[in-house]
Amino acid sequence: MAQVSVEFDLPIPNEYQKDHSYSEGKTRKFTYHGPDKIWLQLGADGKEKYGPLTAEDIADGRPQPADVTEWKEIDCATDPLICQLRAPIDDSKQEAYKEPPDPHPDSPNVSGYDQLMRWTLADGAPKPDDIYDKLGVTKNTTTGNMEIRKIGVNESIHGDDIDLTWAVLRDRRDQQLEGTDGQMASDLPTSMIDEYKGFRQALRDMPSALSAVDPNIAAYMFPTQPANSTKRATAAIE
């Protein structure tokens, strides 16, 4: 299996995890490292039925499955984005994320609420599988062109195409409040009790403190629950 490295201009959204339209024509350099060719196993609908094949797979004489109408050859020198998403890439040569990650521009610092931390984006510039569906490579049965489904804002944030509301977040908040009702035993050190009080107050104030924030972003700004009080109390006694 011949290996290649192909640098290409990766189309990226206008603003990652905020505006996933491509009207500004933004790109960034990215390099594919992997086989020079792959074959996609497509059905009559143009969608993949099974995983991609390499030259070795094709050469071993395997039969074409009955529900596969075409082994579509992809030249990775001319279609490196498809190969980046579907080929067995060389992980050792993949681009590393930068440190530290950047806060999301719509996740503000909230004055007086240190526990409502800003939510950070994925480290560094988005990679291909951050903005393209690696399982969404299909052949348009009308034009014959290969197409790649782009991932929307909420899907990139949650890993699923959902749109949260403040009603959903309040339910989550209420569950956390109920779940910590019995955490502040009277014999705990004052510092631990104060920690839980601060946590519970931040939960109560979330809807008003973050009222101007998109609930899809606010979902990742919940205060962090203090460590298990029983374990901490035991450690303090010991």
Higher pLDDT, 1 or 186: 1
Which position has the higher pLDDT, 55 or 114?
55
Same domain for 42 and 147?
yes
pTM: 0.83
Tokens of 156: 């990139």
- Domain count for the chain: 2
CA dist 30 and 80 (Å) reads: 10
pLDDT for residue 12 is more than 50? yes
Give me the mean pLDDT over the 64-71 stretch: 97
State whether 145 and 185 are in the same domain: no
Q: What is the pLDDT of residues 115-157, one digit of tens each?
A: 898 998 866 678 999 999 999 999 999 999 999 999 999 999 9
Residue 164 has a CB neighbour count (10 Å cut-off) of 17
Mean pLDDT of the chain, nearest integer? 89
Split at pLDDT 50, 70, 90, the class of 188 is low
Residues 174, 63 share a domain: no
Percent of residues, the chain, with pLDDT higher than 70:
91
pLDDT tens, position by position, 151-184: 999 999 999 999 999 999 999 999 999 988 766 6
- DSSP code of residue 223: P
Tell me whether residue 150 is in a domain. Answer: yes
**Spatial distance between the Cα atoms of 37 and 35, rounded to a whole number of angstroms:** 5
- Residue 223 vs residues 39, 167, 169, 197, 231: alpha-carbon distances, Å: 47, 18, 13, 12, 20
Determine what percent of the chain falls in helix, strand and coil, rounding each to the nearest 5. 30, 20, 45
User: Could you give the CA distance from residue 47 to residue 31 in angstroms, rounded to a whole number?
Assistant: 26
The residue type found at 195 is E
Range of the domain at 82: 3-93+102-108+124-158
231 and 136 share one domain: no
